[in-house]
Structure 1
Amino acid sequence: MSDMGYCCAKCKHLVEIDYESQGIRCSYCGHRILIKQRPTMVKTVKAE
């Protein structure tokens, strides 16, 4: 399993991807379009 969370574009459930068994599908509704969740922390980089 991956550490990254995904959200289904259709039913909005949080989904964990299991690449070996089911491929890339929502485990709740079966939809194939998943959106990668962004971290809540903003990363700032100082320009030089």
Structure 2
Amino acid sequence: MSYKCSRCKRDVELDEYGGVRCPYCGHRVLLKERGGGIKEVDVK
């Protein structure tokens, strides 16, 4: 899954055993990348 570090803004790929930490700067706050699509919801 693709994440972006909130401090250095680099793309980060996490493996399931590595924990949550940026391998470049060591920061522990990562933001999940969102898809480019827009969801439409029908409201009744």
TM norm. shorter chain > 0.5 = yes
Which TM-score band (shorter chain)? 0.7 to 0.9
- The alignment's C-alpha RMSD in Å is 1.1
Runs of 4+ off more than 6 Å: none
Question: How many residues end up aligned between the 2 structures?
Answer: 44
- TM-fit CA distance, 1:19: 2.5
Unaligned ranges ≥5, structure 2: none
Distance (Å, rounded) in 1 between the aligned partners of 2:22 and 2:42:
39
- Residue identity in the other structure for 1:25: R
- TM-fit CA distance, 1:28: 1.1
Unaligned ranges ≥5, structure 1: none
The within-5 A match list for 1:1-48 is 4-20=1-17, 22-48=18-44
The structure richer in strand per residue is 2
